């Protein structure tokens, strides 16, 4: 037998890992003090954190919640906490938080905003968590119309007829799609809906509310909307609308049909090449020149449309990234099984492409939600616009940090929630490939 | 199930008609002439193995049969339907022709069962519970019923390829195309996939396989086709093909792949 030959007679059992692994001390040593450079960085960052907290925390906590003006704050704080203390004047938040949340929405109607918000959470639940009963999605479908009615008031016939028009249009599309083909179905269905919206909804709603029953609640004008209510309205509508539009644009951009493709590319490149502020100015001023005189095109609606278009262009590019990341074999397998374009997109390509794009999509959502503060520039009273209004009150003239800190904190809660949800979703959709 | 297959086979109308007829077919990628004047008739129940050096156009040829690639001249008639740009014909043919790919191309976001029922439910409009029964039948046939509710990412390469075969079979295809089904597999797993394919051949399925598994070719093929530079160079029964190759190009190829 030569020296190189070897035969194992029994297989080794697996053994417990060395002690360091899994203990707290081991973790600290491994992660924080694994070498001289790492130790030094750990100590320096620790000092930086301590320094920052030591500067910020006193300002946050040595503060006044009860004063009625900035001047009073500046007198009270040194008296309570000792000479030379400069703390935050949170009293402004206590006094104005309702305004920051609801804008100039009538006080006695706050319940409508609250109800709309709670219903929004209920409508979102089945979309966010697939474990909930699927029947809840019907409510999610009705919610935009219900929410609109609750917030703006007026007769319920308008949103009802709008919804009915969409449903009828869809049924017509379905009917024609099976008998006359996709193209005719789409064209007739879309035209029907557009004509109904432009010419049918308002007259019929007026007729029904005058002759049958009004079913109306008190009207609130768009000018009275403001604060976080406004941010959430613009943000949520923009988010809900930009995802489907973005998907269509991304598919259009990858399409073989030259005209569809050029239109999508043109739209995406144009919108991405223009600052959102310009689009908002167009919405607030220029658009009126193009519309027939006397048309009342709601300012919030105009802004929502602009924000949605802006976000959907970015969304399209994010999703296109996801589409490009899919191996060609997935498309081919779908084709080889005889699935047509839309089925293969819906069942095979999009579920995977969207999953890959989740971080980008949620980033776009968060960006869109934060961009809603830009509407303050065209005079809408979102939280930032309101802060400016509050500052112009003589009692609070000169207050800056407290308002912005509060607005930032509330925005952070929303955005952080979205970010956490996206991580949860990514984990949930992980099926062990790649 | 078996009976159904037999009935299908004994239908005289289909027997008289070849499964695939390719006449004077040409294809270019840009300026590159990949397939040159291809003529090929595949009869029902015939098992054909296509081999040749890489870049010889063998994959492209079978991908033309279900129009994953478009040919530019000549004609391809599959089960009596000519492949043209008419989308209806293409969808019809694709639902009759199953295909297995080198990289399996299972849908990673769906479980094995969902992979197998997707096309029957959405294309053939089979009720879901029925589609699941069929899927289970074919998963048993490829010997992995116990993996039905796992995701493709949790399976080995050989198991994935067998799922891919089952997925195609769930559509009850009349023709199966295999595009190098074992090339991406670890050596230990090639046999299980080949066994599945042999079993399929024994059931009388019309098969076109691009493969370099010469043992498989000897065992099941009715005909072996050798391709080079986009042309069919030699076509013969396996015994003749391997023992008595005619063209020099074939001899060289065989000496290279059988020589070690």
pLDDT tens, residue by residue, A308-365: 999 999 999 999 999 999 999 999 999 999 898 889 999 999 999 999 999 999 999 9
C-alpha closest to that of A373 among A418, A348, A404, A351: A404
User: Are the C-beta atoms of residues A348 and A333 closer than 8 Å to each other?
Assistant: yes
Cβ distance A337 to B94 less than 8 Å, yes or no, reads: yes
Pairing relationship of beta strands B47-51 and B206-210 according to DSSP bridges? parallel
Alpha-carbon gap, residue A96 to B48, rounded angstroms: 81
Rounded to the nearest angstrom, the minimum Cα separation between A331 and chain B is 9
Average pLDDT over residues A122-147: 89
A153: left (phi over 0), alpha (psi -120 to 50) or beta: left
pLDDT digits 0-9 by tens, B86-108: 777 888 888 889 999 999 999 99
C-alpha distances in Å from residue A383, one per residue of A86, A371, A375 = 25, 12, 10
- In this prediction, residue B88 carries a pLDDT of 78
- pLDDT bracket for residue B15 (50, 70, 90): low
Q: Are B206 and B176 in contact (CB under 8 A)?
A: yes
Residues 6+ apart with CB under 8 A from B235: B223, B224, B225, B226
pLDDT in the model for residue A21 = 63
Contact A343 B103 (CB under 8 A): no
Nearest chain B Cα distance for residue A30, angstroms:
32
Location of each CATH 1.10.3720.10 domain in chain A: 97-429
B107-157 confidence digits (pLDDT tens): 999 999 999 999 999 999 999 999 999 999 999 999 899 999 999 999 999
Count other Cβ atoms within 10 Å, centred on residue A180.
12
Are A185 and A169 contacting, i.e. CB atoms less than 8 angstroms apart?
A: no
Residues of A in contact with B151 (CB under 8 A): 431-433
| Complex confidence, ipTM | 0.87
Answer whether B109 sits within 8 Å of A337, measured CB to CB. Answer: no
Report whether pLDDT(A428) > 60.
Answer: yes
Strand B206-210 relative to strand A154-155: parallel, antiparallel, unpaired?
Answer: unpaired
| CA A97 – CA A115 distance, rounded (Å) | 18
What is the arithmetic mean of pLDDT over A382-392? 88
Residues of A with CB under 8 A from a CB of B: 327, 329-330, 332-333, 335-340, 343, 347-348, 351-352, 355, 429, 431-434
Question: What is residue B4's predicted lDDT score, i.e. its pLDDT?
Answer: 46
Contacts with B95 from chain A: Cβ below 8 Å: 337-338
Does A329 sit within 8 Å of B101, measured CB to CB?
A: yes
According to DSSP, the β-strands at B81-82 and B32-42 are unpaired
Please answer whether residues A70 and A395 qualify as being in contact, where contact means their C-beta atoms are separated by less than 8 angstroms.
Answer: yes
Among chain A residues, the shortest Cα distance to B103 is held by: A329
DSSP-assigned letters across all residues of chain B: -HHHHHHHHH-HHHHHS-SEEEEEEEEEETTEEEEEEEEEEE-TT-EEEEE-STTSSHHHHHHHHTTSS--SEEEEEETTEE--S-HHHHHHHHHHEEEE-TT----TTS-HHHHHHHHHHHTS---HHHHHHHHHHHHHHTT-GGGTTS-GGGS-HHHHHHHHHHHHHTT--SEEEEESTTTTS-HHHHHHHHHHHHHHHHTT-EEEEE---HHHHHHH-SEEEEEETTEEEEEE-HHHHHHS--SHHHHHHHHHHH--
Percent of chain B with pLDDT over 90: 60
Q: What percent of chain B has pLDDT over 70?
A: 93
How far, in Å, CA of A226 to CA of A277, rounded?
A: 19
- Residue A245 tokens read as 């539009």
Euclidean distance between CA atoms B181 and B198, whole angstroms:
13
DSSP state of A131: T
A290 — pLDDT class (breaks 50, 70, 90): confident
B64 pLDDT tier (thresholds 50, 70, 90): very high
Average pLDDT over residues B4-32: 71
Q: How far A337 CA sits from the closest chain B CA (Å)? A: 6
Containing A154, the helix (H) or strand (E) segment is strand A154-155
3-state secondary structure of A155: strand
| Number of Cβ within a 10 Å radius of residue B143 | 15
pLDDT attached to residue A434: 46
Query: And the tokens for A74?
Result: 């500046």
Closest by Cα among A371, A416, A143, A125 to A242: A371
pLDDT band at B10 (very low <50, low <70, confident <90, very high): very low
Q: Does an H or E element contain A352, and which?
A: helix A350-371
Residue A338: its chain B contacts at CB < 8 A?
91-92, 94-95, 119, 123, 171
Rounded to 5°, angle at Cα B81 from B98 and B211: 35
Contact B2, B64 (CB under 8 A): no
pLDDT at B260: 58
Residue A433's pLDDT band (boundaries 50, 70, 90)? low
B95 → chain A, closest CA residue: A338
Locate B180 and state its tokens. Answer: 């190098």
Name chain A contacts of B171, Cβ cutoff 8 Å: 337-338
Please tell me which of the candidates A332, A338, A432 has its beta carbon nearest to residue B95.
Answer: A338
| Residues A312/A245, Cβ–Cβ less than 8 Å | yes
Q: Count, in order, helices (H) and strands (E) of chain A.
A: 19, 2
Helix (H/G/I), strand (E/B), else coil: A50? helix
pLDDT band at A224 (very low <50, low <70, confident <90, very high): confident
User: Cα A148 to the chain's mean position, in Å?
Assistant: 18
> Between vectors from CA A224 to CA A221 and to CA A228, what angle results, nearest 5°?
125
Candidate from B94, B122, B151 with C-beta closest to A336: B94
Give which of A423, A309, A418 is closest to A355, Cα–Cα.
A423
* pLDDT above 90 (res A79): no
Q: Across residues B61-77, what is the average pLDDT?
A: 91
8 A C-beta contact, residue B125 and residue A371:
no
Q: How many residues does chain A have?
A: 434
> In this model, does residue A23 exceed pLDDT 90?
no
Mean pLDDT for chain B overall = 88
pLDDT in tens, B206-233: 999 999 888 899 988 999 999 999 999 9
Under CATH, which architecture does the A97-429 domain have?
A: Orthogonal Bundle (1.10)
Q: What are phi and psi of B116, to 5 degrees?
A: -80, -30
Say which residues have a Cβ less than 8 Å from residue A28's Cβ, sequence separation at least 6. none
Search chain A and give the residue with CA nearest B108.
A433
């Amino acid at each position: 037998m030569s020296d190189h030959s070897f035969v194992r007679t029994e297989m080794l059992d697996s053994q417990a890992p060395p002690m360091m692994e899994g203990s707290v001390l081991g973790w600290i040593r491994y992660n924080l003090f694994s070498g001289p450079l790492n130790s030094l960085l750990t100590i320096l960052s620790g000092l930086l954190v301590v320094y920052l907290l030591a500067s910020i925390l006193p300002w946050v906590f040595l503060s006044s919640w009860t004063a009625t003006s900035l001047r009073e704050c500046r007198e009270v704080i040194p008296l309570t906490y000792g000479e030379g203390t400069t703390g935050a004047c949170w009293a402004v938040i206590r006094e104005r938080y309702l305004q920051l949340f609801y804008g100039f929405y009538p006080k006695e109607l706050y319940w409508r905003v609250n109800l709309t918000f709670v219903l929004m959470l209920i409508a979102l639940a089945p979309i966010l968590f697939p474990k909930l009963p699927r029947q809840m999605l019907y409510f999610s479908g009705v919610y935009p119309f219900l929410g609109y009615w609750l917030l703006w008031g007026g007769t319920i016939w308008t949103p009802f007829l709008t919804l009915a028009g969409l449903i009828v249009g869809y049924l017509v599309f379905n009917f024609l799609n099976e008998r006359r083909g996709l193209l005719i179905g789409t064209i007739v269905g879309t035209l029907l809906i557009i004509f109904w919206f432009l010419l049918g909804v308002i007259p019929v709603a007026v007729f029904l509310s005058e002759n049958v029953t009004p079913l109306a609640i008190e009207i609130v004008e768009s000018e009275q909307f403001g604060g976080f209510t406004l941010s959430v309205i613009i943000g949520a509508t923009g988010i809900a609308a930009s995802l489907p539009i973005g998907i269509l644009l991304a598919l259009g951009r990858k399409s073989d049909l030259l005209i569809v493709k050029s239109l999508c590319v043109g739209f995406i490149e144009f919108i991405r090449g223009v600052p959102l502020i310009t689009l908002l100015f167009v919405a607030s001023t220029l658009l009126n020149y193009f519309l027939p005189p006397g048309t009342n095109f709601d300012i919030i609606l105009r802004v929502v449309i602009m924000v949605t278009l802006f976000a959907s262009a970015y969304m399209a590019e994010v999703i296109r990234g996801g589409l490009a990341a899919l191996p060609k074999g997935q498309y081919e397998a779908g084709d080889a099984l005889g699935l047509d374009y839309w089925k293969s997109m819906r069942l095979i390509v999009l579920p995977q492409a969207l999953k890959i794009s989740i971080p980008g999509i949620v980033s776009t959502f968060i960006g869109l939600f934060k961009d809603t503060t830009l509407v303050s520039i065209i005079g809408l009273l979102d939280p930032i616009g309101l802060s400016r209004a509050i500052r112009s009150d003589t009692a609070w003239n000169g207050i800056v940090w407290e308002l912005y800190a509060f607005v930032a904190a509330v925005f952070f809660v929303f955005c952080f929630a979205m970010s956490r949800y996206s991580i949860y979703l990514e984990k949930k959709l992980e099926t062990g490939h790649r | 199930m078996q009976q159904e297959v037999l009935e299908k086979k004994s239908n005289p109308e289909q027997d008289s008609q070849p499964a695939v007829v390719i006449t004077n077919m040409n294809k270019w990628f840009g300026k590159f002439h990949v397939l040159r004047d291809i003529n090929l008739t595949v009869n029902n129940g015939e098992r054909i193995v296509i081999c040749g050096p890489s870049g010889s156009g063998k994959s492209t040829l079978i991908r033309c049969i279900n129009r994953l690639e478009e040919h530019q001249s000549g004609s391809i008639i599959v089960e009596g339907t000519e492949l043209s740009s008419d989308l209806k014909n293409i969808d019809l043919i694709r639902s009759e022709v199953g295909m297995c790919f080198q990289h399996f191309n299972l849908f990673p976001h769906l479980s094995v069962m969902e992979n197998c029922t997707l096309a029957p439910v959405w294309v053939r409009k089979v009720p879901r519970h029925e589609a699941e029964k069929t899927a289970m039948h074919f998963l048993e046939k490829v010997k992995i019923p116990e993996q039905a509710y796992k995701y493709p990412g949790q399976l080995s390469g050989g198991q994935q390829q067998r799922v891919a075969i089952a997925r195609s079979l769930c559509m009850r295809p009349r023709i199966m195309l295999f595009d190098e089904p074992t090339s991406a597999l670890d050596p230990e797993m090639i046999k299980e996939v080949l066994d599945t394919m042999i079993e399929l051949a024994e059931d009388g399925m019309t098969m076109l396989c691009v493969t370099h598994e010469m043992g498989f070719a000897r065992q099941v093929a009715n005909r072996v086709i050798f391709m080079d530079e986009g042309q069919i160079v030699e076509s013969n029964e396996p015994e003749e093909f391997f023992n008595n190759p005619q063209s020099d190009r074939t001899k060289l190829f065989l000496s290279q792949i059988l020589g070690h």
